[in-house]
Structures are given as structure tokens and as C-alpha cells.
Amino acid sequence: MTLPTHARIVVIGGGIIGCSTAYHLARDHKADVVLLEQGAITSGSTWHAAGLVGQLRSSASITRVLKYSVDLYKGLEAETGLATGWKMTGCLRLATNQDRWTEFRRLATTAKSFGMEMQLLSPAEAKAMWPLMQADDLVGASWLPTDGQASPSDITQSLAKGARMHGAKLFERVRVTGFDMKDGRIVAVNTDKGDIVCEKVVNCAGQWARQVGALAGVSVPLQPVKHQYIVTEKIDGLAADAPTIRDPDRRTYFKEEVGGLVMGGYEPDPIAWETGLPGGDVPDDWEFRLFDDDYDHFEQHMSEAIARVPALANVGVKQMINGPESFTPDGNFILGNAPECANMFVGAGFNAFGIASGGGAGWVLAEWVIDGEAPLDLWTVDIRRFSGLHRDRQWVCERTLEAYGKHYTVAFPHEEYESGRPRIVSPLYERLKAQRAVFGSKLGWERPNWFAPQGMEARDVYSMGPQNWFEAVGEEHRHVREAVGIFDQSSFAKYELAGADAAKALDWICANHVAKPAGRLTYTQLLNTRGGIEADLTVARLAEEKFYIVTGTGFRTHDCAWIGEHIGRELDARLTDVTEKFGTLSLMGPRARDTLSAITEADVSNAGFPFGHVREIIIAGHSVRALRVTYVGELGWELHVPIAAIGEVFDALMKAGAAHGIRPVGYRALESLRLEKGYRAWGSDITPNDTPFEAGLGWAVKLRKPVDFLGRAALEKAAGTPLAKRFAGFTVDDPDVVLLGRETILRDGAPVGYLTSGGYGYTAGKGIGYGYVRHADGVCDEYLNAGAYELVVAMDRVPARIHLEPLYDPRNERVKA
């Protein structure tokens, strides 16, 4: 077959992700698609994958993606005539300690929240399902019956055949060598067999995805890691339909294969593939190749596996597989539209979940390519969760090895990564460290999570219940409610939009009315074409042709790219990232005005500086952008200070506020404060799956104004129909109940949704959670108030009370219990 000179879409990579993407583009969208593979189909890392297929993840959308994979694999053979090796054996996960058992109880609750059935078994029940297993050390096990296993090569070949059946053209032995670029877009793919003019490119090049991306200036932060498993000879008594086993406390996994076992694991001391090539590039000719066996490194898994399955001590090993798998710095895979190149999409870095994810990832990636936006809330895997930090190969390698090492560790709430820190610090870092700050990290920034009192060790001690910082954070919370606290939020992402058409551009991009007179600021969402919330931020108008935009630390790349892409090309509007130019001090609490007025001549009275306004004021001789806004429910200002001056301004505030009891406060108190006030958090409470009306944010949508904006058509279409889900708050009285999110919401005993976030409100003295109550016939206030509610927390049913208004109202210091 001759390589075509034109195609609408070029998919690069013939592993399971590339073949799945091509299949879905051809089957669902009848797209003119060409797939290029530099070797043979499956020849990268797909062919040597272990082939376990699990479905449950912490995100409802990603769980849906994995469930789609299972559904696809079940029926693919009937469509293509090629077997996939799919067996729905179910999966046993083993627990040998109480922390792991609590984790499983929470996972079982999450499964029910997401519409899956995970059962909790006794050691005897688990032993009965897998008689060859040693079970004396078990506390219990979880059982997910719809998990299974498949043959990676067979699935991929079946997808490839399906893609061809639907009109896709697949070419092997074609190597991509570069791209022709114009105005930040790819206009042609260069190969060693000729060029292909195209509209869009999908980079599914696996362990080569970083190198392929770099050819277009795109950063794909992944690291190949050596991953080993063995295939044993036949084991007497092992059933052909034996469940797969994950034994995380022993860091191992098992699946049946041709009467024997596949056994591998995730060690705490993984080995990165140091290729020796410039920049750590993966050799182009690494086709159907493996590393030498490393039994010394694998010994740690072998000893643990024999302890679990004693029969392994007396069975031969047919083969050891030691091959590279692509892992990422946070353990989540990479999908989506690259921020550096408008028409390159990426599907890579699957952290050994490529087979489980392949079917669903190809489905959503194809939708993304065709529509230009994700079909679901895929934030946890969106390539735009990364930043310039992730261009540092050494940092990516260190963090990725840590993430790999945590693959089977207990997932404690609020656990922080430790590698590559500190990386980015504000000028206040040493000052806050001297105040006994315990730092967390977000997108490389060191941020104070809490402050340890004297006599207490300044570090996190993780647990499944209330953690060691619980009381200390409560004191910080109370201090903000009663006096004044200062938060270092310098990591906020900040942009400026300038030009004669800046207001016009934002009118289209923002759901709320932001083109107000200079000196005003606006809280707004940015919506997708479905009316879902793509971003949640503050826009301050500094001048007629200049706006200042502030958003969350982790959303820096995503929000900047979203805004930039939706500015009409004909408009005079220039977007600039100014994150590092300004530090941010949030001064919050009833004594905030007393503190601020003592160090500025500006009028900061309520009449002189009302809520929702922005002013340039002078503090300690420096011009500061002061935004009258709050995320904690108290009087306060965000003070955006030239970064070089933030130390002087901080010192001035601390000195002036001493009489009012000022103290630094951390992000854990901020979270508790915002929960009491009912402020939504993007990425959990509000997502691309949720509209402002469902989220209770309809007041921030300008539907009454005769101005078109992105998402308006979808909202208008839905305006006349009842809402099928509504955002609501819940409280529990039991002080021992820890709410984290994903707990099931029961109304009159029936499941109606799950919590999107949870925590503790120290003023309310209760656990607080938020989530969406769902009802197909509509959710109104009457329906919500008429129900009796419970939350399922780690499989226990806990009485709960619903709240449709914020628990805390600072105007009369009222707490609704």
C-alpha cells in the first residue's frame, strides 16, 4: 500500500492506544485516518504487557473509561473475527493490615458510588476462591467480579483489523522524522517514506511519545521504567478461570496463563531506563526487544510471592519478561490536546495500565480529536495538568520513580510526594519555615499546609483517621474566624489580557459579565460547548484595555491554554502569563481591615473599597494590586505584590497585625474554611461534567444579557427542563467519621449520588461533604428537603443532614448545624 500524501488525521504509534484511537476515529466518526508505526503493530511495549484489566479508579470519569474498555473487549471478537483473549476472571485484592482494610472499605464505597459492585470477603472466603493461596496473614480481601485479563497483542491486532474494516489505513515500517509547522500548528507529518499533509496529529507513540512530541515543541513528561514479571510452568491445582490477584502489601500481582502464573510487582526501588542516548532518547530500533533478566532485582518479588503462593517454590520459570513501560510523575496517564501545539493530541504514559485503559482511552481521545474538547471530566489525565517544570527530565525521572514505588503502598489521605523538593519556593519560604510550617507541593511550588505548634514535630504523620495536624489546623481555622490570618498563596496562576479587544474576548470566553468598569472584579466560570465548567477563576479589570486573571496553582497550563485558544484570531487581545511577577498574600479575618488600614493610606473602608473591587494601593512603599475577595467566608483581601517586594510587605503586615493577633495560616485550614462557606473547588465539586445551574452557580451566568458566550446555547437548551442533579452540602455529627469525597449519598435508603469533596468544619464542629443528588425526574428544593439522608463511609451507613445554603454566614456569625 502506498503512503498517502494527504489525510485528515494522522495517528502515530501502533500499540494498543494508537490502534484503539484509529479504530474509534474510523468507526464512530468515519474520519479519514492514517496510522503510522515505525516497526510492527504492538512492537513497542504493548506486546510484553502483563494484560491485567482492572476498572476502579478514584475518578468517576476514568472508571467509566476503564469500564468501557471491558465492554469493548467483550464484543470485539464478534466484530472482527480476531480473538482478544479476554477472560472476566474477577480480581481479588488482599489486605494484611488494618490501614489496607480501611482503604479497601473506602474503595468498596467508591465502587458503589460509581455503579460497580465490589464485595468485601473474609480470609476464608478469599482462600476458597483461590485455594493455592496462603491466607493466614489476611485481614480480608476485596472482590471485583467484572475485572479480568486479556492478551495485549491479540486485542491490539483485533483493534487494528477493526480500524481497517471501518476505513482507516495502517502503515508499518514508517518512521516519523519531523513536522512542518505554521502558526503553531502542524501542517504536514514528515516520514522516512514521504510527507503527509494533515489537519490533526495524534501522538500515541508510547515510550517514544516524548521524542515525537519534542519534534513539534510539545512536552510529554514520561519516563520509561524497567518492569519485570515471570511466566511459570504449569501449576497443579490452578484453575483456568482463577481470579487475578493483587497483593499490594507484598507488592505483587498474579494472573493465570496456560496453567501457570504470570507474577510481577512494583518495587520501592525501581530502575529507570537510562538509554545512554542524548537526552535519554529511546532507540528507534527497540522493536520486540527486552532487557537482560535481572533476578537479583526481582528477588524481592519472588520471596514475597512464594510466601503468598507456596507452590511457586517448586515450579519452573518458563520466561522472565523485563521490558520498559512508560510511567508518569503522578501515576496517571496522559491524554488530550497539547498546549504548545493546537492540533497535536497525545495518548501516552499509561503506567502499565495501557491494556486496561486502551479501549476507553481510544474512545475518549477520538472524541477529543474530533470535537476539540474532552467528552468527559478527564482532568486527572489531561496533559495540561503539567507545566514548564515537567520539561526537566531529571525532575520527571525522580518523581516518576517515586510514583512507581507508591503503586502498591497504602493510599493515605493527604499524602505528599517527597522527591524533587523543594523546587519552587516563594520569597517567604524561609520565614514560614521559621514559623514551623509543614509544606506541601503543588505543581512544583512549596506551599504551607499547616503550622506545627511548639513542642510538636513539624511533619505529617499519615493515618486513615484524623491525622496529627487535626488540632493544629483547627486552631488556625478558629484564628481566621475570630481574628486575622495571612496565607502565602504566591503559587496562584496569574495572567494579564491586554488590547483593544480584551473585553470583547472575555465576553465570549466567560460565563459571567466581566466587562465591568475598571476597578471591578468578577468571579466567573469558563464553559465548554456542553455548558460544563472548564475553569473557575477571578477576572479583575485594571484599565479599559487591561484585565488581570487569577486561577488555581494546578490549573496554570490548562486555563491559560483554554483562554488563549478561544480568543478570536482577528481580535487585538494579548494573553501573558505573569505568575512569577507577583506573589500573593491573602489577608483574611474580621481584623483584616484593622491590619491593612494601619500600613496604607488608601481608604479600605467598606464604602471606599467595597467587595468585588480591585485597587492599586501602597504598602511598605510598594504598589500592590489589592483584590477585595475571599475564599474563606470572612472579610479579606488578596494582595498581589511584586515578587521581589513580598518579603517587605509580609513583614509590614505581620508587624501591623501583631496587635490584632495576626498569624500565618496554611492550606489545610483554607480547605476547612471554604467547606463551611460552601465555596466550590474546581476539579472535584465543579468539573466539565457539571453546569453552573447544577452546581448552584447560576447567579454567575449572564443569560439575561444579550451577549453570546461559549456554552450559552447548551445552557439555554437545558433551561426549560428540570435539573437531573443538584449540588448540596451534608454534615455528619459523629466526630470519628472522616469524609474525603466519593462517599455514597443515600436518600431514603437508596443511592442518589456521591460526595465530590469532604473534610471537617471546625466552627461547625462537624464533618462536611458536598456532592450532587441525582434524580432522573428532576431535583428541586422540595425533593431535596423531603428526603432522609445517610452517607456510606468505608461501607458504614452514617446519618447525615442536607444543607442547601452555606453552613457559615459571617454577617451574623451564624453556624447552621
Burial of residue 30, with CB atoms counted within 10 A of its CB: 0-12 exposed, 13-18 middle, 19 or more buried: exposed
On the question of pLDDT at 813 being above 60, the answer is no
> Is 340 found in the same domain as 238?
no
Q: For position 14, what pLDDT does the model report? A: 96
Q: For position 811, what pLDDT does the model report? A: 62
Encode pLDDT of 427-448 as tens digits: 999 999 999 999 999 999 999 9
> Is 176 found in the same domain as 315?
no
> Is 59 found in the same domain as 129?
no
Integer-rounded Cα radius of gyration of the chain: 27
> Is 315 found in the same domain as 182?
no
In the Cβ-directed half-sphere of 366, how many Cα atoms lie within 13 Å? 26
On the question of pLDDT at 56 being above 70, the answer is yes
Q: For position 55, what pLDDT does the model report? A: 83
Residue 774 three-state SS: strand
Q: Is there a contact between 424 and 414 (Cβ–Cβ < 8 Å)?
A: no
* Assigned domain for 562 exists: yes
Looking at residue 424, the DSSP 8-state letter turns out to be: B
Residue 422: cis peptide before it, omega within 30 degrees of 0: yes
> Is 321 found in the same domain as 236?
yes
> Is 367 found in the same domain as 241?
no
Render 111-151 in DSSP notation, one character per residue.
HHHTT---EEE-HHHHHHHSTTS--TT-SEEEEETT-EE--
* Assigned domain for 401 exists: no
> Is 246 found in the same domain as 311?
yes
On the question of pLDDT at 698 being above 90, the answer is yes
Encode pLDDT of 135-179 as tens digits: 999 999 999 999 888 888 999 999 999 999 999 999 999 999 999
Give me the sign of the Cα torsion angle 658, 659, 661, 662.
negative
Q: What CATH number should be reported for the domain holding residue 515?
A: 3.30.70.1400
Q: For position 148, what pLDDT does the model report? A: 86
> How large is the average pLDDT for residues 706-719?
95
Boundaries of domain holding 49:
9-84+150-222+330-385
> Is 314 found in the same domain as 170?
no
Q: For position 49, what pLDDT does the model report? A: 82
On the question of pLDDT at 50 being above 90, the answer is no
> Is 70 found in the same domain as 166?
yes
Secondary structure string (H, E, C) spanning 57-75: CCCHHHHHHHHHHHHHHHH
Looking at residue 291, the DSSP 8-state letter turns out to be: P
Q: Which grid cell sits at 656?
A: 501591623
* pLDDT above 70 coverage of the chain, percent: 99
Q: Model pTM greater than 0.75?
A: yes
* Assigned domain for 115 exists: yes
> Is 356 found in the same domain as 296?
no
Residue 625 or 53, more confident: 625
Mean pLDDT of the chain: 95
Q: How many domains does the chain have?
A: 3
> Is 314 found in the same domain as 266?
yes
On the question of pLDDT at 44 being above 70, the answer is yes
* Assigned domain for 514 exists: yes
Encode pLDDT of 517-557 as tens digits: 999 999 999 999 999 999 999 999 999 999 999 999 999 99
On the question of pLDDT at 814 being above 60, the answer is no
Q: Is there a contact between 152 and 49 (Cβ–Cβ < 8 Å)?
A: yes
Domain final position from 385, 403, 424:
385
Q: For position 815, what pLDDT does the model report? A: 44
Encode pLDDT of 207-223 as tens digits: 999 999 999 999 999 99
| Of 155, 163, 141, the residue nearest 96 (C-alpha) | 141
> How large is the average pLDDT for residues 758-785?
97
Which stretches does DSSP call E strand in 608-724?
A: 614-619, 622-627, 636-642, 663-664
* Assigned domain for 807 exists: no
Render 191-203 in DSSP notation, one character per residue.
EBTEEEE-SEEEE
> Is 340 found in the same domain as 310?
no
Q: Quick one: pLDDT band at residue 817, thresholds 50, 70, 90?
A: very low
Q: Quick one: pLDDT band at residue 410, thresholds 50, 70, 90?
A: very high
Encode pLDDT of 12-37 as tens digits: 999 999 999 999 999 999 999 999 99
On the question of pLDDT at 727 being above 60, the answer is yes
Q: Is there a contact between 68 and 24 (Cβ–Cβ < 8 Å)?
A: no
Strand partners, 587: 486, 637
* Assigned domain for 798 exists: no
* Assigned domain for 790 exists: no
On the question of pLDDT at 672 being above 50, the answer is yes
> How large is the average pLDDT for residues 596-601?
97
On the question of pLDDT at 126 being above 80, the answer is yes
* Assigned domain for 216 exists: yes
Q: For position 85, what pLDDT does the model report? A: 85
On the question of pLDDT at 816 being above 60, the answer is no
